[in-house]
Amino acid sequence: MNAPYRPEYHVEHDTEYEYSSQVAFAQHLAHLTPLSAPGQTVRGFTLDIDPEPVKVDHTLDYFGNRRTYFALTVAHEVLRVRASSRVRLEPRFEDLDADASPAWESVQTALQYEAGVPFAPAAEFCFASAFVPREARLREYALRSFEPGRPLIAAAIDLMHRIHRDFRYAAGSTDVATPVLKAFEARTGVCQDFTHVMIGCLRSLGLAARYVSGYLYTQARFAHAPGDAAPQEDAGVVGADASHAWVAVYCPVLGWIELDPTNDAIPGTGHVRLASGRDYGDVAPLRGVVRGGGEHLLRVGVRLTLAAE
C-alpha cells in the first residue's frame, strides 16, 4: 500500500501599500499565520514588516486563528509585509462517505436554539453575518439540492456542483465590498463570492457554515466523494498561487467538512488553511487604521512552492 501523500509547501505572501502622501501613524491587524490544525502542521513562520513596527503582538482570536497586531509610528509612504510559511499537509477527506451523514433536516433541528437546552457550538455559524445574509432567494436556490431526507453532506456537495456550474469565475468582477446578493444575481464573481453565496445558501436553511481563507497549490490534489469522478490533479484549478477561499459545513457525525465551490472540489493536499470565521470580514489577511496617507495603491503577491524533501 502506498504511503499517504504528505506534501510540504513554502508560502510567501507579499502585501504592499503605496500611499499618495505620508502616513503619520498606523495600526494593523493581520491574519497571515497558517492554522495548526488536524491535517496541517506549521513547520515555520516569519513575518517581516517594513518600516519596523514599534509594537507587535501575536494572539489567538475568538475563532482560534493566529493574528498579529502591529503599530507604526514612523512616517512612511510605503508599507511592505511579507509572511513566509512552511506547512505540511495530510489527506483529511479521502474516506469521506457523504451518504453516511444524517438527513439535513435533523441537523437543522439539532442546531436550533431551545431555551434551557445546551446548544451546539457550531450553531453560531447558522446566523447572518456582516458579509453573508440569510435570504429567501438563497434558500430557494439551495432547496433544489436539499431534497427531503437527503444526507447533509451529499446535499452540500450537490449544492457545490450547482454553484460551480451556474456561476462564472471572473477575476476583478467584484471586490470585498460587493454584496453577496449582487454576485448571486449576476452569477459572476471570484472565490470570495462563490464562498459567500454557498455559506448564505446553507445558513438560509438553518445549517452551520463558515468561511475558510488560505491558499491553493497550482497542481492541487483534490479528494472526492464516492460516486463522484475524481477531478484531474492539474486541470487548471482556479484561485491557485493566490489568496483563496472555500466553505466548511458542519455535520454532527463527521465534523467540519470543507468544500471548494470555485473549483467544484473537496480539498485534498493542495489547500493550505490560513484562518476561518463567519465570513471574509473575520479573516481579512491585512487591515488597519492609518492617519494620513491620502489615496493608496495595493499590491498583493502569493507564491506557493513544494519544499524540497
Architecture of the domain delimited by 8-90+284-306:
Sandwich (2.60)
Please state which CATH number belongs to domain 98-283: 3.10.620.30
pLDDT at 259 over 70: yes
Residue type present at position 75: A
Percentage of the chain modeled with pLDDT above 90: 82
| Model pLDDT, residue 115 | 81
pLDDT at 2 over 60: yes
CB 135 within 8 A of CB 200: yes
| Model pLDDT, residue 220 | 58
From residue 7, give the alpha-carbon distance in Å to each of 10, 87, 294, 305. 10, 8, 43, 10
Cell of 266: 473537496
- Give the count of beta carbons closer than 10 Å to the beta carbon of residue 162: 18
CB 299 within 8 A of CB 18: yes
Cell of 84: 513566509
Task: Name the strand (E) or helix (H) holding 216.
Answer: strand 209-216
| Model pLDDT, residue 197 | 98
| Model pLDDT, residue 227 | 47
CB 125 within 8 A of CB 224: no
| Model pLDDT, residue 239 | 53
pLDDT digits (tens, 9 = 90+) for 224-248: 554 444 444 444 566 555 689 999 9
CB 262 within 8 A of CB 52: no
Strands (E) across 122-184 are located at: 168-169
Cell of 170: 471572473
Cell of 71: 503599530
Q: For residue 222, what pLDDT band results from cuts at 50, 70 and 90?
A: low
CB 305 within 8 A of CB 10: yes
pLDDT digits (tens, 9 = 90+) for 129-179: 999 999 999 999 999 999 999 999 999 999 999 999 999 999 888 888 889
* Grid-cell match 467544484, residue found: 264
- Average of pLDDT values for 277-282? 97
Instruction: Phi first, then psi: give them for residue 84, nearest 5 degrees.
Output: -120, 125
Which residues are registered as beta bridge partners of 212? Answer: 246, 276
Residue spans of the domains in the chain: they are: 8-90+284-306, 98-283
Asked if the bond preceding 51 is cis, omega within 30° of 0, the reply is yes
| Model pLDDT, residue 117 | 80
Q: How far apart are CA 15 and CA 99, in angstroms?
A: 42
